[in-house]
Copies of this chain bind each other. A is one copy, B any other.
Amino acid sequence: MTRISESTVRRLSHYYRVLEEVAAEGKRMISSHLLAEREGITSAQVRKDLSYFGSFGRRGLGYNVEHLRDEIRAILGLERRWRVAVVGAGHIGSALLAYRGFSEQGFDVVAVYDTDPERVGRDQGGLTVRHASQLSAKDGFEIGVIATPVRAAQDVADALVAAGARGILNFAPRKLRVPAGVALRTVDMTMEFESLSFALTQPRATRRRRARE
């Protein structure tokens, strides 16, 4: 199988969302052109992305909405539910716990940790905050979220890996090291702000997003 690029995976998420909407509207078929709609995706890109995984469409007709949605759900691994541990019960941690969207998509937060004695023992979104030293494989989570201050981030990552995490979502503005076999994604808001600052400062140097077809 050809290796799949991160951009393709992100676009699959996008297609999935569009397909869910379109299915809710009761539409039966959809063309690659309509799936592409918006921001820098061409219909050729859609067909190429999908072709890495199979032939889901019918020439002359397009794709069956529900069928394609189910295929993409399977490809993205969303047929099962994922158990998530959140470390850091501060603002970002609480925001994540409060957001219902994740459980709708199949991500269940099963444990919350912190080191602040003020927070340990308290209730957060239906879960009791536990001390980070309690982090262990017994909780049976696959995904760990790091929502701690920067200085703790690497230690937390190590602890999450030791406790069996196979994927980590990091909100701390620092590059983390994880062993091969552990997937890491970093959301760095500082970087996003700085990227905007750059774009506003040097408008002619900033590459514009590709035009839609």
Contact = CB atoms under 8 A, between A and B. Distances in A.
Interface of A: 1, 3-6, 9-10, 12-14, 16-17, 38-39, 75-78, 82, 90-92, 94-96, 98-99, 101-102, 105-107, 142-143, 166-169, 173-175, 177, 180-181, 183-185, 187-209
Contacts of A1: 204-205
Contact of A13 (B169, B195, B201): B195
Copies of this chain per assembly: 2
A162 to B, nearest CB: 17
Contact of A185 (B5, B94, B195): B195
B206 A193 contact: no
Contacts of A189: 96, 99, 102, 169, 187
Given A101-B190, A166-B200, 18 more contacts: A1-B205, A4-B198, A9-B194, A9-B195, A9-B198, A9-B206, A14-B175, A14-B191, A16-B194, A39-B175, A76-B194, A76-B198, A99-B189, A102-B189, A102-B193, A169-B196, A183-B196, A187-B192
B76 A190 contact: no
A72 to B, nearest CB: 10
Q: Which of A39, A188, A194, A201 has the most CB of B within 10 A?
A: A194
A193 B107 contact: yes
